[in-house]
Structures are given as C-alpha cells and as structure tokens.
Amino acid sequence: MSSNSAAIPTTLKWSKHVYTSADDDERLAIHPGSSTNRYKSTIQQITGVPVDRQKLLCKHGWKGMLKSDTSFGTDLSLPPKQSSLTITLIGSADKLSEPPTDRPKFIEDVTPEEVEAERTEQQAIDDDNAEGMIVALQRPPGELRSADSNRTAEPYQYNRMVHAVPQYRIEKMLHDRRTLHDGKLQGNVVMTMGLELRRAYVNDLATLPDGTLISVLDDGHVQMWQHAELVEDVVHGNADAGGVEHVVALPQVGGSSSAPAFATAGQGVVKLWNDEGEAIAAMQSPRGTSPCALVAAAIGYEGNQSLLLATAHRVTYQSDPNQFRLVPQDEAGRRRRAQAEEQERQLRLRLDAAAARVQVSIQSGGQLQQMTIEPPSDGRGREVVSPPVTSLAALDRD
C-alpha cells in the first residue's frame, strides 16, 4: 500500500493533553507506508516536543517506540471496534539548560581585586537594605549585624566593655521610629559602654563625622567607640594629674587626611588627636590654670577655611595656707613677709587675668598660630577687673 492509502485516524495523548486527527489536526492521521520522520516532525510542530526527545508508543500499531528513518507498515490498520489508533507521547517540550561556557572558578583562581570588588558590592547591597547605621552602636550591615538574630530581645554582654540589646532589636527600633513614630526619639536604652565597676566618671562626649563616639573620663582616659566595641583607650596626659574635662569634634577643613579630628582639654593642656587616636599637637595652659571651656569652628570661606579652637581657663593654683602662719619677730622678717605677700598678690592678679582671657589657636596650611583675647581696659592701659570666662560658644553667622 502506498503513502496515498486511506489515512488512519489517531488520538495522541501527551501528559495531560489529548489531540485527535478528527478534531484538532488532520495531520495526525497516519498514512500506511509514509515516513516516520515526517510524522515526528508533525508532532513537534503541534506539541513543541523535539524529534530527538519523542518516545511514541502505540500498542496496536507497532512494537516498542516508533523508530526514525523508516516507514509505517503498509499493513497498518485500525483494531476491531476502535475508531482511532491511540498513540502515547513521552517527552518534554522544555528547553534544556545550556552547559556552562565558563569553567568553574575555584577560590585559588580568584584575585584579591575580585574578592574586594565582590565584598564591596555585597556591602553596598547590605547598606541599602539596612534601616540605619549608628556607627557607635551598630555593627556593619550583613553577617555581623544578624549574628545574634537567634537571641531573645533581652540585653546581653557583647564583650567585657559593652552590654546591649541584640543588634536585630536595634534595627527594629530604628524601623519602628521611622514608620510608627515619625522619627521621634523613644527614650529606649539599648547599650551601655564601659566598665560598670570602674570608679571613673564620663565628663564629656563627642561624635566624629564618621560616627565614632569619643568619651573622656575623670581619670584622664580618652576612649573611642565603633560598632559596639572599644577601639582605642589612650591617656590624655598624666593619669594621676586629674581628669579630662572636655572633648570637641573638629570641623574638617583643608581636605587633608592628617588634619586633627578632635580635641581634648584637661590637666592644664589642650591636645589635638587624629581619627586613629594619636596625639598630634599639645597647647599648654598658663601656669596655675587648666581649661574650663573648649569650642571649635571653621572660619573663612569654602575652599579657603581654617580651624579655630578657643579655650577658656580656670584657676587651679592653690596657695599654701601655712606660709604666713608664723608672725615675724624682727624687721628683716617683716620685710620678707611683706615681699612674699606682694608676690602672692601679683600671682593672684595674673591668674585672675588669665581666667578672664580667651586663648585662640588657628590652624591653617599645617601651621598653628596662637593669639589671646584680652579683657577690656579703662582706656589708660590698665585692666578692668573682669570676672572669669566660664563658657564659650561658636555662632554661625550664616
């Protein structure tokens, strides 16, 4: 029988789909003696299953799977009492994934530049997903911040110096502050820093532009805090000479990486520090005084600014209460006592005058210049008795 013989109706079953030559596509009908390749191509057009993935089974038409590069038997016919041949198609129309074109890259093949680039990219993603970044309190976004996510909401000891609520709780508080409280502070204590049993007290605090928290203590120590850790603990001067009274963050002018980051005052000296906690300059107070107020400001115009640091002083000198206890018994003794009392009076006048002045330091182009703002005089060159300066402030003229 030729390929022009009467077509045999078929029903094609594929997965949950059923196609019939009578209702769906007459090309599904089989002509005895026709090419099996052509028939498989027709099925590919209808179902999308590639020829090389087709497995065609027909119990009453052929044994096993339909072979390619052959023809249907000329004796192919419908079974008794059936209106069509039932053909089952097994095969997937999904496109198989292409094999990788690049060979696997092992860690030994990764360059330091690629590692840094990937770290930077991941850090940028973590930063975008983070709710906030309070440098002193929060660890960097990513793995370190989520490391305690399995903890309860109760505070715990991060390390010897820090006791705080878990990092994920701080993140949630920041989220709630933004979404539920219109950005208002809620007054929640989330972290305590420092040794609880340490006898020193914190006298002052400052925050650097990069978020580092600076604390100064009355035992002479200067501490720097980042990411819930104490990163530096240095001594302002002589640890036995008293505490550090003040700390101020300094405006960043000139764009130099060596510019001072903050200043501390106490123990009769003002010190300038870089952002690594290294002392880079010191300015002594007048003898017998110590700084009692400290303020910093940027002066000049954009692109040509200088750092101004102003200091006021308090008198720390204490006279010996017993130096004039004994009454002189002769004229020579009385003269010596009168001379000593005059020296003491002159010293007190100088100290009182120092306490009424403001010492100003200006750093420009790497040079440090100092000047003094004197109290007013009576017009005859004589100083008016002025009260001591106890506080300073920098006003923004803009």
Exposed, middle or buried, 305 (CB in 10 Å: 0-12/13-18/19+)? middle
Q: For the ranges 31-35, 131-135, 370-374, 377-381, which has the lowest average pLDDT?
A: 377-381
pLDDT at 11: 92
Cα–Cα distance list, 377 to 286, 374, 380 (Å): 21, 9, 7
Amino acid at 261: A
Instruction: State yes or no: pLDDT of 15 exceeds 70.
Output: yes
Max mean pLDDT among 160-174, 207-221, 238-252 falls in: 207-221
Instruction: State yes or no: pLDDT of 96 exceeds 60.
Output: no
Per-residue model confidence as pLDDT tens digits over 140-149: 887 666 677 7
Instruction: State yes or no: pLDDT of 191 exceeds 50.
Output: yes
* Four-residue CA torsion sign, 25, 31, 36, 37: negative
Task: Place 2 in a pLDDT band, splitting at 50, 70 and 90.
Answer: very low
pLDDT at 66: 92
pLDDT at 36: 93
Percent of the chain residues topping a pLDDT of 70: 89
pLDDT at 305: 83
**What does the alpha-carbon distance between residue 2 and residue 21 come to, in Å, rounded to a whole number?**
20
Task: Place 186 in a pLDDT band, splitting at 50, 70 and 90.
Answer: confident
Mean pLDDT of the chain: 85
Instruction: State yes or no: pLDDT of 234 exceeds 80.
Output: yes
Exposed, middle or buried, 140 (CB in 10 Å: 0-12/13-18/19+)? middle
Per-residue model confidence as pLDDT tens digits over 120-166: 777 777 777 788 788 999 888 876 666 777 777 788 888 889 999 99
**What does the alpha-carbon distance between residue 162 and residue 370 come to, in Å, rounded to a whole number?**
40
pLDDT at 246: 95
Exposed, middle or buried, 386 (CB in 10 Å: 0-12/13-18/19+)? middle
pLDDT at 1: 39
Q: Which two tokens stand for residue 242?
A: 């008293």
Task: Place 99 in a pLDDT band, splitting at 50, 70 and 90.
Answer: low
Q: Does this model's pTM top 0.95?
A: no
Instruction: State yes or no: pLDDT of 185 exceeds 60.
Output: yes
176 vs 237, more confident: 176
How many CB atoms are located within 10 Å of the residue 139 CB? 20
pLDDT at 4: 55
pLDDT at 214: 97
pLDDT at 55: 93
53 and 92 Cβ atoms separated by less than 8 Å: yes
**What does the alpha-carbon distance between residue 300 and residue 143 come to, in Å, rounded to a whole number?**
44
Mean pLDDT value across residues 76-100: 81
Instruction: State yes or no: pLDDT of 300 exceeds 90.
Output: no
Mean pLDDT value across residues 317-327: 82
Instruction: State yes or no: pLDDT of 13 exceeds 50.
Output: yes
